């Protein structure tokens, strides 16, 4: 007599990832087959019917149901703590075959370590005029150095994947030019304290705090063909080639506490001789400390990234229309929590990026 089938539970993210796997054109047939088993089980389909639909035996369908049920609590824990990509890899591991006994590896741990050490070196150290290693070049270099008599590029690729090394990838980073770390830290704290003091200064001493910067090189790009609207299963498609119609520079500022709602109010504020102005300069290469840079990021994503402009005048009108729309719809002051010191509370690692008011001048 057959036992009771394991009841399958799925979170929304898990369900989404399983559907992506089932629709994937690059996932292995076995992985797709097992993802279908879990999805059908979640819909309360019996093992006999699942087995018939996916082309497996009833016992195999039951096995993968039990495997998922045993892993569900761990998957939920990972989902709460890790990014989407980690959750997907874990789900793929759950639906993969367990390691089986087989022949011993051909290469020793010492040989593997030496190959990984080469991958961490610059190819220039081996007199190779390239800026990063390929699997084939690493295999060739390992043979030339006498580490192994022979090894395939695919085997090197497997070792790199197991070690989480990716010679083909790189990321840019910016090193500070400030030589004295104490001076740099003091400068950062002065800027952060200016944001944090802004509300009290305004309400108690009638002192205004305004964030100012420029966003140069905004290109008026006109696509040479029409954009094709999105359809079910097909995202919006934007023509790759374009014509250039010149560039603009956006100079933006906002009142950190209240926001200046119009160009007129900004001009009145700047021209009032009763106001005394104090400038707080950011250290070099710390634009991430300037609140208006957050708004410039919004401008880049919402206006420029997919923009199609037939002239500089059209780009300028679009920017001004967006600024007006921004101010009317979702502009709010930031709640700046960062002090410039290392953050202990995980929830305070980044400033609260709720929107503030942006005013631009030509």
Gap between the Cα atoms of 282 and 200, Å rounded: 21
Tell me the backbone φ, ψ of residue 243, rounded to 5 degrees: -105, 145
Q: Write down the pLDDT at residue 272.
A: 60
Would you say residue 338 lies in a domain?
Answer: yes
- Give mean pLDDT, residues 249-274: 66
Q: Verify that 213 and 338 share a domain, yes or no.
A: yes
Would you say residue 2 lies in a domain?
Answer: no
Would you say residue 245 lies in a domain?
Answer: yes
Would you say residue 5 lies in a domain?
Answer: no
Please say which residue of 52, 71, 94 terminates a domain: 94
b/e per residue 5-18 (b: at least 16 CB within 10 A): bbebebeeebeebb
Query: pLDDT per residue over 197-227, tens digit each?
Result: 888 888 888 888 888 888 898 999 999 898 8
Q: How many CB atoms lie within 10 A of CB 147?
A: 18
Q: Which comes out higher in pLDDT, residue 291 or 104?
A: 291
Q: Write down the pLDDT at residue 358.
A: 38
Q: Which of 9-18, 112-121, 199-208 has the lowest mean pLDDT?
A: 199-208
Whether 103 shows a pLDDT value over 70: the answer reads: no
118: buried, middle or exposed (CB in 10 Å: 19+, 13-18, 0-12)?
Answer: buried
Q: Write down the pLDDT at residue 244.
A: 92
- Give mean pLDDT, residues 292-298: 87
pTM given for the model: 0.48
Gap between the Cα atoms of 292 and 344, Å rounded: 25
Q: Write down the pLDDT at residue 269.
A: 59
Residues 137/121, Cβ–Cβ less than 8 Å: no
Q: Write down the pLDDT at residue 334.
A: 77
Would you say residue 215 lies in a domain?
Answer: yes
What is the dihedral sign for C-alpha 98, 104, 105, 110?
positive
Q: Write down the pLDDT at residue 343.
A: 53
Residues 167/121, Cβ–Cβ less than 8 Å: no
Q: Verify that 204 and 343 share a domain, yes or no.
A: yes
Q: Write down the pLDDT at residue 199.
A: 85
Would you say residue 339 lies in a domain?
Answer: yes
Q: Write down the pLDDT at residue 134.
A: 94
Would you say residue 212 lies in a domain?
Answer: yes
What is the dihedral sign for C-alpha 144, 146, 150, 152?
negative
Q: Verify that 249 and 197 share a domain, yes or no.
A: yes
Q: Verify that 205 and 274 share a domain, yes or no.
A: yes
Whether 256 shows a pLDDT value over 90: the answer reads: no
Q: What percent of the chain has pLDDT over 70?
A: 85
Gap between the Cα atoms of 303 and 296, Å rounded: 10
Three-state DSSP at 97 gives: coil
Would you say residue 113 lies in a domain?
Answer: yes
- Give mean pLDDT, residues 170-183: 77
Q: Which comes out higher in pLDDT, residue 347 or 110?
A: 110
pLDDT interval class at 360 (50, 70, 90):
very low
Q: Which of 149, 146, 151, 124 is nearest to 135 (CA)?
A: 151
Please say which residue of 62, 94, 126 terminates a domain: 94
pLDDT interval class at 104 (50, 70, 90):
low
Q: Verify that 117 and 257 share a domain, yes or no.
A: no
Gap between the Cα atoms of 58 and 50, Å rounded: 8
Q: Verify that 285 and 185 share a domain, yes or no.
A: yes
For the chain, the C-alpha Rg in angstroms (whole number) is 29
- Give mean pLDDT, residues 57-72: 89
Tally of CA atoms within 13 A in the half-sphere of 28 that contains its CB: 8
Q: Verify that 189 and 290 share a domain, yes or no.
A: yes
Q: Verify that 258 and 116 share a domain, yes or no.
A: no
DSSP 286-303: -GGG-HHHHHHHHHIIII
Q: Verify that 138 and 261 share a domain, yes or no.
A: no
- Give mean pLDDT, residues 114-135: 92
- Domain extent for 121: 109-163
How many domains does the structure of the chain reveal?
A: 3
Q: Which of 252-256, 276-280, 315-319 has the lowest mean pLDDT?
A: 276-280
pLDDT interval class at 268 (50, 70, 90):
low
Q: Verify that 209 and 355 share a domain, yes or no.
A: yes
Residue ranges of the alpha helices (H) in 9-100? 12-23, 29-42, 47-54, 58-81, 84-94
pLDDT interval class at 190 (50, 70, 90):
confident
- pLDDT averaged over the chain? 82
Q: Verify that 124 and 271 share a domain, yes or no.
A: no
Q: Verify that 60 and 89 share a domain, yes or no.
A: yes
- Give mean pLDDT, residues 145-174: 89
Task: Output the CA torsion 106→111→116→120 (10° steps).
Answer: -150
């Amino acid at each position: 007599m057959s036992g009771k089938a394991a009841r399958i539970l799925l979170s929304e993210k898990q369900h989404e990832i399983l559907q992506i796997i089932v629709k994937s054109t690059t996932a292995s047939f076995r992985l797709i087959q097992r993802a279908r088993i879990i999805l059908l089980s979640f819909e309360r389909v019996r093992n006999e019917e699942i087995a018939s639909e996916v082309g497996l035996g009833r016992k195999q369908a039951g096995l993968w149901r039990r495997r998922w049920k045993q892993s569900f609590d761990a998957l939920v824990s990972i989902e709460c703590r890790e990014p989407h990509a980690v959750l997907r890899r874990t789900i793929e591991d759950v639906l993969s075959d367990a390691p089986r006994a087989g022949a011993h590896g051909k290469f020793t741990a010492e040989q593997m370590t030496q190959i990984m050490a080469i991958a961490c070196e610059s190819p220039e150290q081996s007199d190779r005029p390239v800026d990063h290693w390929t699997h084939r070049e690493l295999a060739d270099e390992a043979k030339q150095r006498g580490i192994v008599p022979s090894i395939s590029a695919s085997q090197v690729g497997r070792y790199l994947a197991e070690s989480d090394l990716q010679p083909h990838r790189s990321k840019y980073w910016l090193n500070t030019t400030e030589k004295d770390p104490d001076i740099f830290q003091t400068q950062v704290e002065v800027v952060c304290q200016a944001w944090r003091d802004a509300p009290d200064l305004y309400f108690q001493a009638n002192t205004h705090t305004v964030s100012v910067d420029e966003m140069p090189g905004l290109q008026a790009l006109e696509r040479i063909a029409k954009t094709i609207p999105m359809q079910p299963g097909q995202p919006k498609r934007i023509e790759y080639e374009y014509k250039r119609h010149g560039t603009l520079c956006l100079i933006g500022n906002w009142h950190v506490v209240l926001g200046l709602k119009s160009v007129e109010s900004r001009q009145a504020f700047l021209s009032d001789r009763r106001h005394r102005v104090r400038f707080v300069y950011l250290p070099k290469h710390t634009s991430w400390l300037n609140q208006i840079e957050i708004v410039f990021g919004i401008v880049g994503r919402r206006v420029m990234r997919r923009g199609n402009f037939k002239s500089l005048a059209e780009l300028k009108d679009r920017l001004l229309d967006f600024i007006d729309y921004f101010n009317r719809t979702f502009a709010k002051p930031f709640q700046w929590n960062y002090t410039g010191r290392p953050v202990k509370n995980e929830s305070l690692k980044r400033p609260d990026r709720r929107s503030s008011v942006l005013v631009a001048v030509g």
